[in-house]
Structure 1
């Protein structure tokens, strides 16, 4: 009985990490992929060899690490695909970094808005400073926005893939009540 309770509490913690990790893809205040990784780490520490393989653990770790570079790469890619110069790409990156802080006082939605609008306005501003007209600068800003949305969907796909792969690897052997 005590073993089943411990197993239930362990899986509850893991599932909570996965749930909040998934929500973190939508809510910038939560470190989405990192919470998913924390759930895997808790499971691995608690169950050792009965948990996921080390290969899975390190692959998931690499995927989680990649999610943090995806925002930057996709934002730059999007801006460049829509005609941004190096100035527009720098502006988009600075907007991605500074935007959430500038808009964070907007209680809950500010950080998310900053991550969306920061690259757009950063690219536009830096392109205008670099001598582009408003139309060309706006195209670069729109590209940065498209790149950011693409990054959002890629991060969701990575998070969901890690969670699904986790449950496929552990199977039902570590799920309480299914042994």
Structure 2
């Protein structure tokens, strides 16, 4: 939580630091509820363009390292990264990722020999936060396993659907959601 707090303070004008610190109680670091409050504060201070990029981490299985190439391509495909005359979409998406890393919301897992980020991940507590916030904001719906998949009708006002299941569960399946983007993850 201390690292998250420094990420918040790094993006807030110095004259507002006292206001941020005073909003915390002495038990902030030890209490789970206070930790969630800290994460909420950090999320609120994110620029709007970075919020969907951050929530997107909740769609992947917990503790999974993501290649930056795959992640940035997905962000671009989703339309989270807008075209800019001075930078390519890939460079701009990488800037978004570096911004999340600088706020201590995303951790670098592996770097290339030139120092570029190869893979990244988020802490378990941040993953839980992303899942809860995505559900609250109807950013995506997550189905895990065959039981949830077989009982699924159609999402209710969610923009994305993530399914964690086995390939055999889709054999002969008529699962089709015309208004929702689907991303499938197969358990091994």
TM-score when scaled to structure 2? 0.26
Higher strand share: 2
Higher helix share: 1
**The structure with more radius of gyration:** 1
Q: Which has the higher contact order (CA 8 A, sep 6+)?
A: 1
TM-score when scaled to structure 1? 0.27
